[in-house]
Amino acid sequence: MNSNTLSLTLFTTVSAIFAPLSAFSQTQVEAIPVTENIFHFSGTQANCVMLKESDGTLVVDSANTLDIAKDLQATIKTTGSGPVDYLINTHWHYDHVNGNPVFADAEATIVAHKAVRSKLQMTPTQEGNALLPKNALPEICFDQDLTIFFENETVYIYHPETDGAHTMGDSVVYFKTSNVIAMGDLLFAGMYPYIDPNDNGWPQGMVAALHDVEKMIDDKTIVIPGHGPVTDKKGLQESADMLQDIGQKIDIMIKEGKTLEQIKKARPTADWDEKYGKVWMNGDTFTELVYNCLKNHR
């Protein structure tokens, strides 16, 4: 199987053929192949992604608890991979960083946008309201982008230039050779996305970031969201359209002086609720979140 030509259509077939690699282990975390060398994992709350190369292993996001990160680590071993060399944090939210200590203790180098490190230095994410230990903070940080070269894969880590999107320090991880992209929480597939009103997140920033990423990828790119099932460029574009539409409608109503209750009554999410409002947030909850984001945005 040539990973370069693997299309999204094939993905379902491939997943069905490859039994979950953890089927015979003790862990709840399952490795699901995306291509020959790239896997994503179920059971980790947010989607974690792994690149397994002969000259190294890279993981995107470290799961929501230490226990699940240990399961993730065990599942990674079942794929035949060596220890994790690089861990990328797509942003600072707990469900993407709380397993960092497990990988840091196993000598992984942690990489993230500089805003992720500074946020994690001050913001408790761990159980018991604790900060991440110092050795589990990102140690290589970048402003806009960073590339890691493996013998057979180029990994491009990119921070879309916005004044806040999902958070202030979002990155995507683009496996250029395999044409697979891990979106972090800039993309929730098939559901309304969380946007962080307390870290300058807002729908317009999400839209700008998604349009930025759109220019990097093509119709064959396999797109792995931060939450939800694997999708493609079309799924990404539709998510941007949804955010643009709802964000604009609520923004206009705020500028007209409408209250949150009046805005909810106007049902700005009506056109999208059937497709996006059934998994966790409904239209009303998402309207309130967008309202708070727009009110808080600096």
**In the block, residue with structure tokens 């993309």:** 187
- DSSP character string of 149-171: E-SS-EEEEE----S-SSSSS--
Q: How far is the CB of 279 from Zn ion (least distance, A)?
A: 15
Chain centroid offset of residue 79 CA: 22
Which CB sits closer to Zn ion, 53 or 185?
185
Which CB sits closer to Zn ion, 153 or 185?
185
Which CB sits closer to Zn ion, 21 or 112?
112
Which CB sits closer to Zn ion, 46 or 294?
46
| Residue 61 binds to Zn ion (criterion: CB under 5 A) | no
Please pick, from the candidates 71, 85, 185, 251, the single residue that binds Zn ion as defined by CB under 5 A: 185
Residue 154, phi then psi, degrees to nearest 5: -110, 125
| Residue 113 binds to Zn ion (criterion: CB under 5 A) | no
Q: How many residues bind Zn ion (CB under 5 A)?
A: 2
Which CB sits closer to Zn ion, 169 or 247?
169
Which CB sits closer to Zn ion, 150 or 276?
276
Q: How far is the CB of 167 from Zn ion (least distance, A)?
A: 7
Q: Are strands 145-149 and 140-142 parallel, antiparallel or unpaired?
A: unpaired
Which CB sits closer to Zn ion, 21 or 97?
97
| Residue 119 binds to Zn ion (criterion: CB under 5 A) | no
Q: How far is 116 from 246, CA to CA, in rounded Å?
A: 28
Please, what's the b/e burial string for 226-246 (b: 16 or more CB within 10 A of its CB; e: otherwise)? bbbebbbbebbebbbebbbbb
Q: How far is the CB of 147 from Zn ion (least distance, A)?
A: 24
Please, what's the b/e burial string for 25-34 (b: 16 or more CB within 10 A of its CB; e: otherwise)? eebebbbbbb
Q: How far is 212 from 215, CA to CA, in rounded Å?
A: 6
- Using the contact rule CB under 5 A, the part of the chain among 17-25, 54-62, 177-185, 269-277 near Zn ion is 177-185
Please, which residues have CB within 8 angstroms of residue 191's CB and are 6 or more apart in sequence?
227, 228, 276, 277, 278, 279, 280, 281
Q: How far is 137 from 78, CA to CA, in rounded Å?
A: 26
| Residue 93 binds to Zn ion (criterion: CB under 5 A) | yes
Q: How far is the CB of 209 from Zn ion (least distance, A)?
A: 13
- Using the contact rule CB under 5 A, the part of the chain among 76-84, 142-150, 154-162, 179-187 near Zn ion is 179-187
Contacts to Zn ion from residues 229-258, by CB under 5 A: none
- Using the contact rule CB under 5 A, the part of the chain among 36-44, 89-97, 145-153, 260-268 near Zn ion is 89-97
Site residues for Zn ion per CB under 5 A = 93, 185
